[in-house]
Structure 1
Amino acid sequence: MAWNRKLLRVNLTTGTCTAEPLNMEWAQDYLGSRGLATKYFVSEVDPKVDPLSPDNKMIMSTGPLTGTMASTGGRYTVVTKGPLTGAIACSNSGGFFGAEMKFAGWDMIIFEGRSPKPVYLYLENDKAELKDATHLWGTSCWHTEETIKHELQDPLVRVSSIGLAGENQVLFGCIVNDLHRAAGRSGVGAVMGSKNLKAVALRGTKGVSGVKDMKAFMKITAEKKKVLADNAVTGQGLPKFGTQVLMNVINEMGGLPTRNHRDVQFEDAGKISAEAMHEKRPSDNKPHLVTNAACFGCTIACGRISEIDKGHFTVVNKPEYWGASGGLEYEAAWALGAANGVGDLEALQYANLLCNEQGMDPISFGATVGAVMELYEMGVLTKEQIGIDAPFGSAEALARLAEMTARGEGFGKEIGQGSKRLCTKYGHPELSMTVKGQEFPAYDSRAIQGMGLTYATSNRGACHLRSYTVASEVLGIPVKTDPLTTDGKPELVKAFQDATAVFDSAGICVFTSFAWTVADVQPQIEAACEGDWSMDKLNLMGERIWNMERQFNNAAGLTRKDDDLPPRLKTEPAKTGPAKGLVNGIDKMLPEYYELRGWTQEGVPTPETLSRLGL
């Protein structure tokens, strides 16, 4: 049993921390991390709850492979009701925090209520206590982590915290661990802030005991690590270039959303690409990229550690940003760059550092700035309202708006509400590039049709990680499909969605799925976990988790009309590239997808489907 078999329930209102046995019947049906945490959440929380009220709960959860020698076994998940979307929020993070939770002897932490004053949870093996965090309130994630380590006199403590964004209820505030890894999307940091919970600090020295068949587990994990090492994406592309390897690839195929999705190709993509991060700057003859980095137990090491040009206008006289720190990933580089027409790599890195420092999602932030810049160019928003000129392409505007949003100043407060609320307020809801209120990631669904259905049906709002059909449509993994056609995409999306739920619930990184299928994960779970873990059982489990999330959303008031794309993607054809002249065919794909899922044409799981899945 790779589970610790216990969870910690933290009632922030009363200040109590109580250990409980893990529901092992549920663990057999939902495995761990995303699946099991969601099962607990939907069983305990009213779907109609206000996300920022004390009645909402927030769960941090590991999977059975978290903390083990399975490659990428460092993930943990945060599940709550999201303030950005009003839907189920499930945000996943790497780094070392998840493994530390397992080493301390816990599978899950459930936070309830609201503390009367700022606190942080300190969890050292079996000892749990809420400590005063009044002195940390109003400070950054970076300062919080450093201060807690100093106070506890333990540099090995692992810390997850919120910055000013979470405190100020920026609706895309995130939870940052290990300085630059984050449970990044859907506003989980705003929920944490609403509870007056500043941080969680973990120290575990127990290790992971109880793997069912250690000999078999060691053998199978070694075999599967070799599969990752031998794969072109996980063994070569990601270690060398990180996720940024995609910038030029997606731009060339005409799928890089540019200037708030007005265009599908960015003329300066090369300047903000992975290759550009490797090039030496004329100013100091040093590359942007210092090294790659890995999360706990990861053999891929796609993380970027970068250094900003000390002479760049964003950081002159700001030495706190000069050191090597978390570098640009593809999604962030796109959202801060192409989405706004900004081709200044250093300005992107500066905005990204602010997102890490104060805990906000760079995807939603950057995409919201794209909407602001379009409204500015239309004359709907003025310099007086925003506080600065904000045309597309302005690195100065990007940097200043990042500061304002991170610190909750001036117009930054409006950006912090996300593009759906902002665009609606200023009379142009159609300019918000969102589904269910969550901003799109870095793929234009006119050029990559399957991603349109992926975004529209994602349970947590627009998301690429719930069904990364880019793998198939662009990279040919596991099979190549034509990105320009809707044919076969409902089957592809459903298959990716169900499989990803299994990867997430096991406690491993979805990037392994560039080389692995569920058939590679199954023997690792089988060797680690008691019970029978056949392929049939895992496939059914993935589908069960997806439908459980859908049930919660339906009960929360989301309907078929929320499974849709903005008018721009359905009525304004791509202007350039291979997809020139195309719009997204969501209206054709959605009914087929519902039928495949065993849902009504209103998007509600039928009684037969629920019965088959044991829901």
Structure 2
Amino acid sequence: MAWAGKVLRVNLTAGTCTSEPLNMEWAHLYLGSRGLATKYLVEEIDAKVDPLSPENKIIWATGPLTGTMASTGGRYTVVTKGPLTGAIACSNSGGYWGAELKFAGWDMVIFEGRSPMPVYLHIENDTARLLDASALWGLSVWETEPAIQKMHQDPLTRVSCIGRAGENQVLFAAVINDLHRAAGRSGVGAVMGSKNLKAIAVRGTLGVSTVRDPKAFMAATKAAKKVLADNAVTGEGLPKFGTQVLMNVINEMGALPTRNHRDVEFSEASQIGAEAMHEPRKSDGKPNLVTNQACFGCTIACGRISKIDETHFSVKNRPEYWGASGGLEYEAAWALGAANGVGDLEALTYANFLCNEQGMDPISFGATIGAVMELFEMGVIKREEIGFDAPFGSADALVRLAEMTAQGEGFGKMIGLGSKRLCEHYGHPELSMSVKGQEFPAYDSRGIQGMGLTYATSNRGACHLRSYTVASEVLGIPVKTDPLTTDGKPELVKAFQDATAAFDSAGICIFTSFAWTLADVAPQLQAAIGEEFDVENLNLIGERIWNMERDFNNRAGFTSKDDKLPPRLVSEPAKTGPAKGLVNGLARMLPEYYNVRGWDTDGRLTQATRERLGL
């Protein structure tokens, strides 16, 4: 079967590594990756545990399609209780690390306790050892990965690690693999740092266990790859422009959050979008974009590799930043750019490089800067506190604040708390554009109504990847719905949430869902692991996972009162664009959503729902 059938349990307190069989009953109910790792977590920790305490656990997990010939089968997830939100945290990453763990013969790695000293885990097939990481502590991601490869004299060793942000407990610290692929959201890197765990280095040469029906699997994956290739988004738009293709599209429909959501259109959007990345610079005649890049097994190749203008103020006389590395994707370009009113593409690329180098979520970081700049312009945050002026539109302030946060210095320590805590500290909690403490991504929910419900009900705090109604409301996938109305959005959001949970748990990229439905995923899973994984069962698995996450959050203390949006989005109408005069209609959508979900009026699972889903 495509499951490896083994779990590696690492007790950091005792310094032990132990193999145990995968719980196959759970695997059939929760599939893998996000779903299965969350099942292990919620069964093993107290929902009220302090996320940064030794009692919290953190899990790296693959799905049954990870490491196989299924397109985009390189995904893995990091699951824990998140320090940014206090809710369930599950961050997904691509690159090559996930496949390598599977090649070493493991489905997941569970870390518990806290090491008394910095360590890293080295896995080589069946052998797993905790090794001293004292020499690695304090190094960036870009320094840590090659250092480990050199120590083990193997450039093919794949590394998942933290930089200084994780070590310094930045609450939106990310886990980075392959230098610029990130399990980015909810502060999973801070949990890793709290356990004195610097990295997981993996070298696997065993390959994936035999799939259930190899001929059927080859046929199913071939057919699915053709669907991706023939689709306008996955076959043309994403390979050429990456997710940045959305910058001008979302701006033109008046749903690009600008200057901390004060506005919904950014006049300089065209200067930081996909087309701008392709245009030759005046300084050297070269474009910001060097090439696109694919993760393991991916036939889409949406990743961006960029190179900064060597004469730009951010990197002038700093050759360590002149090489090509992970470039801007849409969410990062928005958060670092429009959210702060900054239209300098090279400055955004540099700030993004820093997020990769030191392991920070660029969405939460950039959105927090938006709050800082608004508070600065209001006179609440003084120049003396920051050390320089930080008004909206200042590329210089963005760059300097990124450096300070990445290094954990000065005012950067306050930014590292995230916008919710920062805004509360300065007496203006309403200026944090977040849900459950996690900052919004790049879609204004006054112009895309379904995203308001998506944000408010997301189990890991504000997130677009848990229910990307933009696909329907903007791109018409799988059906076109009106972005300016609340009609039908509760059903739409639930359908996206359940399907996304199944995609994530299979070990494939959510971007395939621009072209695939579960009807394309089901034949691949059936050939790989079992005939029972038809569309109906996959929908049920996705719904079971969503409700399990919700139930954990309820036990952690979250209630219906936390399913809310900032006052700005429900009381301040959009000033311009197609959504002019509109606020988000969350109050109309939420009760209907609870009913569709089979929850009571307080947003809790009913007994009937528990019994139907086996929870």
Give the alignment's TM-score, normalised by structure 2.
Answer: 1.00
Structure 2 CA distance for aligned equivalents of residues 107 and 59 of structure 1: 11
**What residue number does 2:188 align with?**
188
**What residue number does 1:447 align with?**
447
Deviation string 1:420-456 (CA, Å, 9 cap, x unpaired) is: 0000000000000000000000000000000000000
Query: Aligned-pair distance for 1:169?
Result: 0.3
Structure 2 CA distance for aligned equivalents of residues 445 and 239 of structure 1: 27
* SS state at 2:90 partner: strand
Structure 1 stretches of at least 4 aligned residues deviating more than 6 Å after TM superposition: none
Structure 2 CA distance for aligned equivalents of residues 173 and 134 of structure 1: 20
Name the aligned partner's letter for residue 453 of structure 1. Answer: L
Q: Summarize the alignment of residues 472-551 of structure 1 with structure 2, pairs less than 5 Å apart.
A: 472-530=472-530, 532-551=532-551
Q: Summarize the alignment of residues 92-111 of structure 1 with structure 2, pairs less than 5 Å apart.
A: 92-111=92-111
Structure 2 CA distance for aligned equivalents of residues 430 and 532 of structure 1: 48
Query: Aligned-pair distance for 1:585?
Result: 0.2
**What residue number does 2:558 align with?**
558
**What residue number does 1:44 align with?**
44
Q: Summarize the alignment of residues 356-371 of structure 1 with structure 2, pairs less than 5 Å apart.
A: 356-371=356-371
**What residue number does 2:605 align with?**
605
Structure 2 CA distance for aligned equivalents of residues 520 and 387 of structure 1: 54
Name the aligned partner's letter for residue 540 of structure 1. Answer: L
Q: Summarize the alignment of residues 10-21 of structure 1 with structure 2, pairs less than 5 Å apart.
A: 10-21=10-21
**What residue number does 2:115 align with?**
115
Structure 2 CA distance for aligned equivalents of residues 507 and 614 of structure 1: 23
**What residue number does 2:380 align with?**
380
* SS state at 1:202 partner: strand
* SS state at 1:243 partner: helix
**What residue number does 2:151 align with?**
151
Structure 1 CA distance for aligned equivalents of residues 207 and 603 of structure 2: 44
**What residue number does 2:209 align with?**
209
> Percent identity over the alignment?
79
Query: Aligned-pair distance for 1:84?
Result: 0.2
Name the aligned partner's letter for residue 132 of structure 1. Answer: D
Structure 2 CA distance for aligned equivalents of residues 536 and 225 of structure 1: 22
**What residue number does 2:139 align with?**
139
Name the aligned partner's letter for residue 507 of structure 1. Answer: G
1:8 matched to 2:15 = no
Structure 2 CA distance for aligned equivalents of residues 524 and 502 of structure 1: 13
* SS state at 1:375 partner: helix
Contact 1:233 1:514 in 2 (8 A): yes
* SS state at 1:463 partner: coil
What is the Cα-based RMSD across aligned positions, in Å? 0.4
**What residue number does 1:460 align with?**
460
Q: Summarize the alignment of residues 28-107 of structure 1 with structure 2, pairs less than 5 Å apart.
A: 28-107=28-107
Structure 2 CA distance for aligned equivalents of residues 294 and 413 of structure 1: 34
Structure 2 CA distance for aligned equivalents of residues 243 and 538 of structure 1: 27
Contact 1:47 1:556 in 2 (8 A): yes
Name the aligned partner's letter for residue 240 of structure 1. Answer: K
Query: Aligned-pair distance for 1:536?
Result: 1.6
Structure 2 CA distance for aligned equivalents of residues 522 and 226 of structure 1: 16
Query: Aligned-pair distance for 1:188?
Result: 0.1
**What residue number does 2:299 align with?**
299
Name the aligned partner's letter for residue 226 of structure 2. Answer: K
Identify unmatched segments of 5+ residues in structure 2.
none
Contact 1:28 1:531 in 2 (8 A): no
Name the aligned partner's letter for residue 505 of structure 1. Answer: S
Query: Aligned-pair distance for 1:531?
Result: 5.1
Contact 1:5 1:106 in 2 (8 A): yes
Deviation string 1:476-508 (CA, Å, 9 cap, x unpaired) is: 000000000000000000000000000000000
Aligned length: 615
Structure 1 CA distance for aligned equivalents of residues 538 and 394 of structure 2: 48
Q: Summarize the alignment of residues 567-586 of structure 1 with structure 2, pairs less than 5 Å apart.
A: 567-586=567-586
Structure 1 CA distance for aligned equivalents of residues 549 and 420 of structure 2: 22
Name the aligned partner's letter for residue 106 of structure 1. Answer: W
Query: Aligned-pair distance for 1:534?
Result: 2.0
Query: Aligned-pair distance for 1:538?
Result: 1.0
**What residue number does 2:390 align with?**
390
Deviation string 1:286-343 (CA, Å, 9 cap, x unpaired) is: 0000000000000000000000000000001111110010000000000000000000
Structure 1 CA distance for aligned equivalents of residues 81 and 514 of structure 2: 30
Structure 2 CA distance for aligned equivalents of residues 85 and 349 of structure 1: 27
Structure 2 CA distance for aligned equivalents of residues 320 and 535 of structure 1: 49
Deviation string 1:582-612 (CA, Å, 9 cap, x unpaired) is: 0000010000000000000100010000000
* SS state at 2:136 partner: coil
Structure 1 CA distance for aligned equivalents of residues 141 and 347 of structure 2: 21
* SS state at 1:212 partner: coil
Name the aligned partner's letter for residue 320 of structure 1. Answer: E
Structure 2 CA distance for aligned equivalents of residues 310 and 61 of structure 1: 39
Structure 2 CA distance for aligned equivalents of residues 534 and 517 of structure 1: 12
**What residue number does 1:198 align with?**
198
**What residue number does 2:273 align with?**
273
Query: Aligned-pair distance for 1:530?
Result: 3.1
Structure 2 CA distance for aligned equivalents of residues 332 and 534 of structure 1: 36
Structure 1 CA distance for aligned equivalents of residues 163 and 2 of structure 2: 33
Contact 1:486 1:589 in 2 (8 A): yes
Structure 2 CA distance for aligned equivalents of residues 283 and 530 of structure 1: 57
Contact 1:157 1:202 in 2 (8 A): yes
Structure 2 CA distance for aligned equivalents of residues 378 and 530 of structure 1: 59
Name the aligned partner's letter for residue 291 of structure 2. Answer: T
